[in-house]
Amino acid sequence: MTQASKPEILAIIGLGNPGQGYYHNRHSIGFRVVEALANREGGVWREREEMSLAEVTVYGKKLLLIKPLTFMNTSGRVIPFLSKRGIKPENILVVHDELEQPFGKISIREGGSARGHNGLRSIISACGEHFFRMRFGIGRPEQKEQVPSYVLQNFSESAEDVECLIDDAVTMLLEYIRR
């Protein structure tokens, strides 16, 4: 796909688990990235049904930012809300934690499978796999059995390092949207 044919991003969904007790967990990095984007661009959060929403205007384009307030496994419940507004899967970018990338590696790609991520699995079951993803690398524990507890733990890296990476992720999102 050439840059000229890249679909316009109209909604960014940050994946995470609701509640202050989960806020600093690796699994909730998507929430933190979309919150940082809203803060940088002057978005104000409001709650609606099973989600928090903020609207921002970036480079003259309106963007809807969403944090599903259901738990990770049912994140796809926000998709009908977007569909009713004419937002198609190819206009959605999902920000999520990624075990298959080392801590600090951030990338954006289109499509793909859930690769064991229950939040992605829920979104894929609601709209298919042809949406964009920002993959925020969190690393992987040594043993597969540790994955469920690992993603629900706070980052072991310094808070400053995590905040710097969140800022980098926001900058990357803004650059991606501008193209």
**Neighbouring C-alpha atoms within 13 Å toward the C-beta of 88:** 4
Closest CA to 98 of 150, 168, 35, 62: 150
Pairing of strands 132-137, 61-68: unpaired
Q: What residues are annotated to the active site?
A: 27
- Residues sharing a CB contact under 8 Å with residue 88, sequence separation 6 or more, in sequence order: 7
**Three-class SS of residue 158?**
coil
Calpha distance 172→107 (Å, rounded):
9
